[in-house]
Amino acid sequence: MSEKFFAQVNRNFDRAAQYTKLPKGILNQIKTCNSVYHVTFPLERDNGEVVTIHAWRAEHSQHRTPTKGGIRYSSLVNEDEITALAALMTYKCAVVDVPFGGAKGGIKIERSEYSIGELERITRRYTYELWQKNFIGPGIDVPAPDYGTSEQEMAWIADTYRQLSPSLDAMACVTGKPVYQAGIRGRAEATGRGVFFGIREACSMQDDMKTLGLTTGIEGKTVVVQGLGKVGYHAAKNFQEAGALLTCLIEYEGAIYSEKGLDVDKVMSHRTETGSILNYPGAENMDSRKALEIECDILIPAALENQITVDNALRIKAKIIGEGANGPTSPDAHDIIKDRGALIIPDNYLNAGGVTVSYFEWLKNLSHVRFGRMDRRFEENAFRKIVEGFESLVGKKLSEAQYKSIVHGADENDIVDSGLEDTMVTAYNEIKEIRDRHNIDLRTAAFVSAIEKIGRSYDQLGIFP
């Protein structure tokens, strides 16, 4: 029997804990899931049939409040998965210094089998159940989108919660909402963009790239991406724009390969027209599992957990594995790939872009002001005066494009992207320093970073190291 997901997370935790000096009791408290709510409720389907829906919400740690974590809709949802993902959220938030505890939710459905009206009724009832048990609220537990959910479900959650608990801050009960419903610009692409920033930072480290036999930078590197949802698509698009070569794109129905490279937007258009990425002009169709084993510089598994296991780890040839999904590599597979000399950039750091920008959205909802609204025009006027002074001094006018580029004041997109980039760059350098100090891998280093930060939050008297 394969090891359960939560046990895998705790195995990684235990491996890292030995590099900390926290008391055993505190370590046990950190890794224990505080609460799990399993609810069932009836749904009357459009044809009059009544079915029972199973749903969960796990709050792993309240060392910081509110807790934070996505809601997924999948036929594979179960309590162990939700508990494991909640734990990963705890550690992920700590690694990137986002002041939330970890949580996760899920509803056991295959969403393609339900109508929009049925999905709305399921979502609103789930929100009611969470509200009834105090598992949702701006200062309690704040959900977000995850696998199988989107802005639409988050809008339904926000509307339902606001009706149940009307208040000035009600819209901060959930993040990942549409921009026109108190969402934030840049949230949809945040996780994939964060994956790009994290891998880009890793590729800037001359010592690591030399060890891998690679040059620094992204340009020219071959990239394979598994999963073309929001995470995989935006990661692929950012790598393509940075000069990388997308040689293989993988989806559940199969994969496509081209040595010359693939244009991700054209592939997505082909998928919209045909219903599949397969048979893309100029590309070779491949089996999804075999495609993970293609020789490349960077492999980005951005779909579901346990995609790289002991069954295929020895055949994974990528020099860098950037975990865009939660738990895509099993602990045993991680050790096999690490021993081969590959660099694994772990999920408990790399896919933290989503929760980082969710944090920005939560702050925006509590402050009730759009980022950039207070100072954008002031910045533009100040920059304009500087440019005009420079032009007067040198006696030469800048081109219109140059002028607009220089005097542009930061809008919400700019501020969100800057904050995300700073978060990912800072966190990577922190975990790399821990890795180098202890001579461990990046995953263990990220857990060490998280455990030490969470441990300090329990230390009210300053007695722990």
CA distance 444 to 434: 9
Percent of the chain with pLDDT over 70: 98
DSSP, res 409: P
Q: How confident is the model at residue 415 (pLDDT cuts 50, 70, 90)?
A: very high
Which residues, 6+ apart, have CB-to-CB distance to 103 below 8 Å?
57, 58, 59, 60, 67, 68, 69, 86, 89, 141, 143
DSSP, res 61: -
Q: Taking residues 13-21, what's their average pLDDT?
A: 94
Identify the weakest region by mean pLDDT among 78-87, 164-173, 252-261, 394-403: 394-403
- Indicate the SS3 state at residue 324: coil
Longest Cα pair distance anywhere in the chain, in angstroms? 78
pLDDT at residue 372 in the model? 81
104 belongs to the catalytic site: yes
Q: Please, what sign has the CA dihedral across residues 410, 413, 416, 422?
A: negative
Q: Tell which residue, 205, 190, 253, 201, has the closest CA to residue 227.
A: 253
pLDDT at residue 53 in the model? 97
pLDDT tens per residue, range 267-305: 999 999 999 999 999 999 999 999 999 999 999 999 877
CA distance 199 to 322: 7
pLDDT at residue 188 in the model? 87
Query: Which class would CATH give 184-375+410-465?
Result: alpha beta
| Fold designation for 35-181 | Rossmann fold (3.40.50)
Answer for the pair 324, 345: CB distance below 8 angstroms, yes or no.
Answer: no
CA distance 362 to 358: 6
Q: Taking residues 66-93, what's their average pLDDT?
A: 95
Q: Taking residues 323-330, what's their average pLDDT?
A: 90
Which residue out of 104, 177, 221, 319 is catalytically annotated? Answer: 104
pLDDT at residue 187 in the model? 87
Q: Do domains 35-181 and 184-375+410-465 have the same CATH topology?
A: yes
Domain boundaries, the chain: 35-181, 184-375+410-465
Answer for the pair 294, 257: CB distance below 8 angstroms, yes or no.
Answer: yes
Q: Taking residues 416-437, what's their average pLDDT?
A: 96
Mean model confidence pLDDT for the chain:
92
pLDDT at residue 108 in the model? 98
Q: Is the pLDDT of residue 1 over 50?
A: no
pLDDT tens per residue, range 329-365: 988 899 999 999 999 999 999 999 999 999 999 999 9
CA distance 289 to 307: 8
Q: How confident is the model at residue 462 (pLDDT cuts 50, 70, 90)?
A: low
Q: Is the pLDDT of residue 465 over 60?
A: no
pLDDT at residue 460 in the model? 59
